Chain A
């Protein structure tokens, strides 16, 4: 069974710090990796995707992928209280009929 594991948290960081969110996956055939942010009572929204090994930066967000270690992470620089949310890691495996496997999410709290 394909699994995606995340630290459940909660992860608490002070405002302005770097928040680091981690995710591991079990299926070596996985090809695409996504980070969603979910505010309390709202639906998940896509914030980052990464397909290739290495880093991908978008504003304050950096996604990192290491396929050999089956590891993907999300760094949030200069964390703001508005970043407080649950972050979901999602993985698409090859030949998956466009299905995603989600981790259970990490709750991030940014303290002013």
Chain B
């Protein structure tokens, strides 16, 4: 358990509506990431953060924005949801030490109708 929670865990929304997904961590890690996972595409990085108010784009950032006003929370916003954004969204943190790598939250299943 990487001390990561995601909310909501499931969401159904309509095309054109804004949607915000929340990632919350309890271990004060500096780096946080948002991925989407789709069949045939694997895990793709949307945005990541390397500190409060410090964020950068990943490979599939169009249509998404992020914010990090506190160390523990990293928000992903779909500004105007489209059906192509139907996916499973995973948040991850980078944990240092041996095996320094990313650890994932439980995921959010988003369906855009």
- Which of B42, B45, B105, B107 is close to A99, meaning CB atoms less than 8 Å apart? B45
Q: Is the CB of A88 within 8 A of B43?
A: yes
CA of A2 to CA of B48, assembled, Å? 18
**A44 interface contact, C-beta 8 A:** yes
Query: CB-CB < 8 A to A105: which residues of B?
Result: 42
- Which of B41, B44, B58, B107 is close to A43, meaning CB atoms less than 8 Å apart? B107
Q: Give the contacts of A56-112 with B (CB-CB under 8 A).
A: 88, 90, 92, 97-100, 102-105
CA of A35 to CA of B50, assembled, Å? 23
Query: CB-CB < 8 A to A99: which residues of B?
Result: 33, 45, 48, 58
Given A32-B100, A46-B99, 11 other A-B contacts at CB below 8 A? Answer: A34-B99, A34-B101, A43-B107, A88-B42, A90-B101, A97-B56, A98-B31, A98-B48, A99-B48, A102-B44, A103-B42
B interface residues (Cβ-Cβ under 8 A, vs A): 31, 33, 40-45, 48, 50, 56, 58, 90, 94, 99-107
